[in-house]
A and B are shown apart, each in its own frame.
Chain A
Amino acid sequence: MSDIAPVSGRRHGWLRDLRRIVFFTAKRLLALFVTVMIGVYLTIVIANMGGQVDELRELQIRMTISEEVRADPSFMQMPSEERNELIEEQVQMEIQRRNLDQPFFLRSIDYLNQAMRLDLGRAEEMHSDTGARDVYDIIVERLPATLLLFGTANLLVFFVSVYAALWLSRRYGSRADRAVIALAPSSAAPAWFYGIFLILFFGFLAPILPPGGMVDIPPPEGRWAYSLSVLQHMILPVTAMFLSSIFISIYSWRTFFLIHSSEDYVEMARAKGLPSSLIQSRYILRPTLSPIITSFALMLIGLWSGAIILEQVFNWPGLGTLLFQAIGFRDTPVIIGGVVVFAYLLAVTVFMLDILYAILDPRVRIEGGRS
């Protein structure tokens, strides 16, 4: 439409597009916020279905108070019955102070409010490396490790598979093509599964790579030595993730590109004698960009949860290992906090997908986000 409009109109149109994208984004943000709220609320309800969370809290309060009273020298002389009464009284006061005697609905609203503000409470057993007991600190401290590992692996898989698929779609039926089809079922196994074998081969049978962890112990001095050590530790987990999803993604992209490269307009371009690189970038890649982005985001969503076990297998100090340790300690606040943070991460992924859509898909701009 900008071709027909005069110059001033073109700028106007651009502004209007921007306005519509902002409007669309704001709407999606609101919708996602509500979605996250429902999701977090559901998490709380599931966690507290049998009253576990309440019980846990009451138990914690009782233990702290009785320990305080027993340790206080001014209560030492008191007869034990009187002292127990005092403990009971203080426990009841604390329960009232924390609104734990209200009906579940009111309590859950309180929990929800806290969870949405990422005020995830204090851990029971665990603490962060800096010694903090807040669940939020514990989780945030682990995020960069997870992001580093999964960001690298995802980007690698994504770009390699799209380019390999483009290459294969031009060589339909060749030996390489058939090999990829034959190898595609190998992706039925998750990354941690390949991880076990990689550790076996490269960690123990031919020990050339570290079998686990994120840096050498003790961590090497100097920024370069440190990064090098981290890189070395990343090779095996990234390879595991790469192996587990590369063939299926090449396969599905290849099929996708095959379907699209048989469209009439592509045939037409070919008939015109355009060079194949131009056909690839302008006639195949550009119209298929939004499905490509969608699938990338969906892959991210899928890999977030796959992270837990892979990290545990490779002893990578990320969110997954944290959750695993929390299971070991039965540290409920950390587990619930982990679920909430995962929900947030997924929501952020969906949100970024939406924004990219708004930028890439002209329909969103034209219809002003009505679609």
Chain B
Amino acid sequence: MDIQHKEHKRCEVLHVTGRIDSSNAQQFEDALMKALDNKSNVVVNMKNVEYMSSAAIRALIGALKEAQGRTLRKGNVVLAETPDKIREVFGIAALDTLFTFYDNETEAVGSF
């Protein structure tokens, strides 16, 4: 897994590439929390994610809870360019109503 950061005025974008499973989900969670500390709002560009296990999804839920649960600088975590096969697992987990999915990164960044 590789994570590239891109900072915008109102959010930070994480470009994630590769596979996120139990061996590297903690690294993914650390990157999400660091981005939230920096900007409050985070876009995760999923275009190049090959696979996300339940451990990776738990990291995303944790980050969403952290962002929305803050009393000061409340934020959000949104997903962009999510491949269909990965979107399917969000549906199975009934998480498709909690996360906002954007077809492209520009739209996701523009939502903040």
- Genuine A/B complex: no
Residues of B within 8 A of A (CB): none
Residues of A within 8 A of B (CB): none
